[in-house]
């Protein structure tokens, strides 16, 4: 046999299912350990149900009213805008790392990205999305 045939046979032998057997055994033992610990804690742990323990936890603040009250959309809008602009800022990191290799083409691409970013921000300000006095 030539060296190519031997290397192909070695590669097929190294990817057989026998090589995954120890990983499978470890996963079975890990799942068994987790199930055993959860079962033991349910059996052995304390089971005192009082009114205080069954009450919903609200950061130590007394709850009052209904939790299904309508909320102002401004909270959600600010959260979505934060995520949007946060993700846009993340795109600056690859440019900062590779700015020398990107050259002038990369610089103009980032300028275009910043221009789109500022157009979106201007649109948000003109629509009044950040005004809270309602």
Model pLDDT, residue 122: 87
Q: How far apart are CA 92 and CA 88, in angstroms?
A: 7
Domains of the chain (ranges plus CATH)? 18-63+71-127 (1.20.58)
pLDDT tens across 37-49, in order?
A: 999 999 998 888 8
For residue 103, the tally of other CB atoms under 10 A from its CB is: 10
Query: Residue 100 corresponds to which tokens in the numbers above?
Result: 């020398």
SS3 37: helix
pLDDT tens across 58-115, in order?
A: 676 766 777 677 777 777 777 888 887 788 888 888 888 888 888 899 889 889 988 9
DSSP designation for 72: -
Query: Residue 131 corresponds to which tokens in the numbers above?
Result: 């005004």
């Amino acid at each position: 046999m030539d060296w190519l045939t031997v290397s192909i046979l070695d590669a097929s032998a190294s990817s057989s299912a026998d090589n995954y057997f120890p990983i499978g055994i470890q996963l079975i033992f890990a799942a068994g350990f987790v199930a055993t610990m959860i079962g033991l804690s349910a059996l052995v742990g304390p089971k005192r149900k009082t009114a205080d323990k069954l009450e919903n936890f609200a950061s130590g603040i007394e709850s009052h009213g209904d939790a299904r009250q309508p909320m102002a959309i401004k909270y959600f809008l600010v959260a979505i805008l934060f995520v949007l602009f946060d993700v846009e800022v993340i795109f600056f990191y690859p440019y900062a790392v590779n700015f020398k290799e990107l050259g002038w083409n990369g610089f103009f691409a980032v300028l275009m990205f910043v221009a789109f970013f500022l157009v979106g921000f201007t649109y948000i300000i003109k629509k009044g999305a950040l005004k809270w006095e309602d």
